[in-house]
Structure 1
Amino acid sequence: MRSIDIWVLVIFIMATGCKRPEKRLPVLGEPTVSKRFAGGREVYDSVYPVVPPFSFIDQDGLPVDENSFAGNIYVADFIFLSCPAICPKMTAEMKRVYDYYSTEERIRFISHTIDPVRDSVPRLKAYALSLNINDKKWKFVTGNQDSIYHLAEKGYFSNAYKDSTAPGGYAHSGGLLLIDKNRHIRGVYDGTNKQETYRLIGDIAILLKEPS
């Protein structure tokens, strides 16, 4: 990351912290109501949606599932390697976040290909190598296409699908999604906007301070 970017980011986080020292990130999604008994009376709790279980293969050919991120905060997105439009910018912004938190053990990253036919494990590996990342920290995953699309829609409230009219033949969200240790979605950020990336970096700092 260039030094000028670092200073801009430091100023942004300091300003954000000064304005909202007690900020707590929202939990996104429509909650359901759960009833339980406590102290002899009915208590109603709001239950927020979580990212459901999943099972994919990473750039090293190793299995990846929801347990791979247990106890960690992570950032997720949906891309494809032959994307001629927003994906390169999304990955560049994800890399910006990765670089900032590269030594923070509690932060992970996952990029799902929405074109698993072409984005094989060797292609994902080559792409990961080109980014000079730690494979244990940032997973590029492939798997059953329908499962990936279903996870995008039902798990992340995002979109990913084939569309012959879209650049590269696929339509998908440009969002970077912030997920907490309990698999709740805590933020969605425009992956093509540097200022949104700075906001994501700042929100991760807030989430790291949140009690488990």
Structure 2
Amino acid sequence: MRVLIVGLIFVAGVVVAYFFTQPKDEPLKVYNPIDVESEMVEKDLARKGFGHTIQEFSFTDQNGLAYGSKDLKGKVYVAEYFFTTCGTICPRMNAEMQRVQEAYKGVDRFKILSFTVDPETDSVAQMKIYADGHGADSKQWHFLTGKKTDLYKLARRSFFVLKPAEAANQGDVGSDFIHTNYFVLVDTQKRIRGYYDGTDSREVDKLIGDIRKLLEEEN
């Protein structure tokens, strides 16, 4: 009997020790300019290590309606930069973004923002055709166009998805437009909480999980 009791105590101790030594979910990192590749950050922001937030903005969505910061209060969102005539990484990115939308279908606290880098081509009508072709729910997934200078300023000074040198040249190289393949996760306080390769399904799987973490964290 004594041996049995000792054995049970030992097993219980192992279980308790296992529970307390398991890694706990860490909060998602808060990104500041100092945490981003230096080539993506303008010099006046490069040393900023605290307090970065996405600047206020307002553009026009695929339904011809103004959409921006005021509509995102209390929301978690993912942002990307793309253009509708892109034949390289954009189709893959937006196929992956469709998976993100499906994972949070009907969740009002989560939004997706797709900013164009080619507003001369990507009119409201063009964005509507593209959005419909990707099954976008216009209440959740907003394709945004507007003034090129404003779009590029937001990309390079808030989201850090466009190199300053490229932005100064308006991002054009021949008939192409330079932008990264990253999706950017933003919390309800307008802070960047993650970067994810939008062409990599495994990275997008992680994004889908991290969105849930944020929604739970900020509930």
Bin of the TM-score, shorter chain as denominator length: 0.7 to 0.9
1:119 shift after superposition = 0.6
Conserved? CA contact 1:23–1:206, under 8 Å: no
1:64 shift after superposition = 1.0
Letter in 1 for 2:184: L
Aligned partners of 1:183, 1:74: CA distance in 2, in Å? 9
> Which has the larger share of helix?
2
Work out the number of aligned pairs and report it: 178
> Paired residue for 1:192?
199
1:30 shift after superposition = 4.2
Aligned partners of 2:177, 2:118: CA distance in 1, in Å? 8
Letter in 1 for 2:193: R
Aligned partners of 2:156, 2:33: CA distance in 1, in Å? 14
- Runs of 4+, deviation exceeding 4 Å: none
The DSSP-based 3-state class of the residue aligned with 2:161 is coil
Aligned partners of 1:183, 1:118: CA distance in 2, in Å? 29
The equivalent position to 1:171 in structure 2, one of 178, 197, 202, is: 178
Conserved? CA contact 1:152–1:158, under 8 Å: yes
Conserved? CA contact 2:94–2:134, under 8 Å: no
TM-score (norm 2): 0.77
> Paired residue for 1:201?
208
Give the 5 Å matches for 1:152-167. 152-159=155-162, 161-164=170-173
Conserved? CA contact 1:27–1:48, under 8 Å: no
1:163 shift after superposition = 2.9
Conserved? CA contact 1:97–1:201, under 8 Å: yes
Give the 5 Å matches for 1:143-158. 143-158=146-161
Conserved? CA contact 1:114–1:148, under 8 Å: yes
Aligned residues with identical type, % of pairs = 37
Q: Deviations over 1:9-62 (max 9, x none)?
A: xxxxxxxxxx7543200100148xxxxxxxxxxxxxx84210001121000110
- RMSD of aligned alpha carbons: 1.7
Aligned partners of 1:56, 1:114: CA distance in 2, in Å? 13
> Paired residue for 1:4?
none
Aligned partners of 2:60, 2:106: CA distance in 1, in Å? 24
The DSSP-based 3-state class of the residue aligned with 2:160 is coil
The DSSP-based 3-state class of the residue aligned with 1:209 is helix
Unaligned runs of 5+ in 1: 1-18, 32-45
* Residues 1:20 and 1:48: Cα distance change in structure 2 (over 3 Å): farther
The DSSP-based 3-state class of the residue aligned with 2:70 is helix
1:133 shift after superposition = 2.2
Aligned partners of 1:20, 1:80: CA distance in 2, in Å? 41
Q: Please tell me whether Structure 1 or Structure 2 has the larger radius of gyration of its CA atoms.
A: 2
> Which has the larger share of strand?
1
Conserved? CA contact 1:30–1:48, under 8 Å: no
* Residues 1:69 and 1:157: Cα distance change in structure 2 (over 3 Å): same
The DSSP-based 3-state class of the residue aligned with 2:105 is coil
Q: Deviations over 1:121-180 (max 9, x none)?
A: 011111111122210111000000011111000010111642325xx4111011000000
* Residues 1:211 and 1:136: Cα distance change in structure 2 (over 3 Å): closer
> Paired residue for 2:3?
none
